[in-house]
Each structure stands twice: as structure tokens, then as C-alpha cells.
Structure 1
Amino acid sequence: KSRSTYRNIDLPPHCQDQRWPKHFLPTLYLWAGSQDDLWQISDVSLIKALQCIMDELYDTDLQYNVTSQGSVFGIATQRLAEWRSNFGSTGLAIMIDFFARNKDTEPKVLGTALISDFAFIFEDMDNIDPMQAYCSPFMLQLFATAHLHSIVGHVEVSALKTGVLAAIGMAGVLGICAASVSTVDIQEP
């Protein structure tokens, strides 16, 4: 089967319980969010991560070897694509809401000001301080909505250092949040 044709029903029997959506996927998203480039995760790295998560969640229940042709890998890559896509659609919704609430300034003017010097990523857009990067309301709302919500329920996987990742492993996620907000195209009404 090709990767994109797998469905949850194709997962091994032990993965048909609630551990897959409630713990496996949040742990996968936590790990993926720590990668430098969320769009270019190698199959080898992903297989290793998936195997570590499988071994932790299903240690005695299931002896399964993750391969690039198997259902776990196929479904995991589908879910990662959906997770990444969510950043763009959520970022767009946040910006549409922001522009709708700021009727006193034309969206094109406001959008240009936000993009100038990447002001939209800073807590105080009038005082661009690198120590306040990624602290803007846009970034925090997108980060919380698209990422933090999706990693609730992750499990500790010592081989992946998920305890550390949950605290400081967010480089890739912050990058995708910034990219999602910065690519909103403001058109004249």
C-alpha cells in the first residue's frame, strides 16, 4: 500500500485503542515541533522517533518494527501533514479576526506595518527588542492554538528527551508560526 492510502483501521490491533490519538500523536507532534525544519524530516529520523514512541507506549503489548512502508509510518506522515497544515489555517483565522477588529486602519496599511521589520513577531511592535521575539499576541495565540493544544497528552519518551522538548524544544514550531502569520496576503477590499 502507498503511504497515503493507510487508514487508522490499518494500524496494528494494539494501536486501535485510545493510546494512539491521545498519547502517540501528541508525542509525535512534540518531537516534530522540535525539529529545525518541520517540512524536511527525513524518513530515517521519523522512523527512529516513531519506533521510540511505539516502544514506550506499547512496550510489552506489541512487538512492532516501524518501516517506511508500514501503516504506522503512513498514518503518522498523514497526521503530520494535517498538523502542519493547521498552522496556516489557524494563522489566517487569527489575522482575519485581527483585521476585522481594527476597522480604524485599512488592512493593507496595517498589514504593511506588521510585516515591516517583522514587527508582528515582537511583543511591542513599536519597540522591536530581540528579547521579546515570538511574544506578540499573534504568535502566542497561534502557538497555543495550533501546537500546545495538539501536544496535550504526550508521554515521556526518554530516548527522545520529550521532557526537555516540552520545556524548550520549540524552534521548528516557532518558525512555522512566524511563517504562517507572515504569509497572510492582504488584498484591497
Structure 2
Amino acid sequence: MAKKLKSKKYVILTDPIQTSCESLHAEIVDTGNFLTNKVRVDFKDCQNKTIATFNGKSNLKELEEGMQNALENAMKGINVSNPEHHASSQMTEPTETVSQNENANPKPKTETQNGIAAQNNAEVYTNGSLTLNKIKLSENQFILANPNQSVPYAVFSATSKKDVYRVQLENGTATFGYFENGNIVIETPNSDGSFGKQVFSRK
């Protein structure tokens, strides 16, 4: 796994002391059964909140080969690291890093902790009553996350139209969002079928 992450321009942290809230951790979970080899890779922050999940499976029946193949397939969904640098008077952008503590031979129904390596390009947005962190997951996806919640407030996935996104809210509601004058706008459906707006401005 470390080799795959390095090939995607992530940095592996070999010293646990170096891990912090400026890096993510990867947790590899065996989700297969005696017929199918499957794994799930969860990326979590320093508060153990899941930021992104990637799944992989293999048609190989041998346990060791099948698990390695499933892990490789899961890793295909992880984009090449492309950190953005934003000027800020309050914080310094962290270096994109990954800490390594992985088991080379995964076993059934076990979990392996990895300190993961992704850039946490958090920008802070607020609508006046709610303050959220904007975290970029890839070129086509980002989230708005409440530091006090384990589930992202909203997940944004790019559409074919520039600056317009499909949005899934924390309660499972699917809607749309877009950028407008530097603000993030989310269309929120009402019970009567109409739509309102939530406007988040960058702090």
C-alpha cells in the first residue's frame, strides 16, 4: 500500500511522532467472505472521523493473492496527490504526508491502521450559524465537514457544468450546490417541494 501511495505522490510518515491532525490515517478492513476477497480502505482524520472510503474486490480465490489484488483495486480509486496552497494569516499549509504502519499480509476480518497521507486543505466557511471546513478529496470531489460530527455535512461531486455539483447531505438528501461570487450555495429542498438556499461564505 505504501508503494502505491508513493506512486501517487503521497509522503509516508515512518515515525508515529510525526503523525498529527495535518495528516490522515488509512484503515484497511477485510469485508469479504469465504467466496469473495474484498477490502475497504477508510481515510480518517486525527479524531477518527471517516473522510473518504474506497472499496475493492478480487475474483482470485486464494486468500493472500486475492486480498492483495482487492487492495490494489481499491487503491485505483485514489487520485494522484495535487495539493493546493492558500495564503492564510492564521495557518500554514501542511505538507502532504502519510505515516506507515501496515501489515504486508492481511488476514481475514482484521483491521490494519495506517497513518495516511493526504493533504488536508481545509478552508473555513460559515453561514452565520454553522461553521464548516471545506476539504478537497480529489479534483472532482470535496466535502464540508463539521469538526464536531463524524459524518460530513455535505459531499460535493462535480458535474459536467463548471462550479456546479451534485450534493449529498448528512441526512442522505440528494440535491445540488454551486459556487457563486466565491460563496458555496446549497439548494435545500423544503417539505412543500420548493427549494431554499444555504449560503456559506469563506472566513
Shorter-chain TM-score above 0.5: no
Question: With CA pairs under 8 Å and 6+ residues apart, which has the higher RCO, 1 or 2?
Answer: 1
Question: What TM-score, normalized to structure 2?
Answer: 0.25
Q: Which has the higher helix share?
A: 1
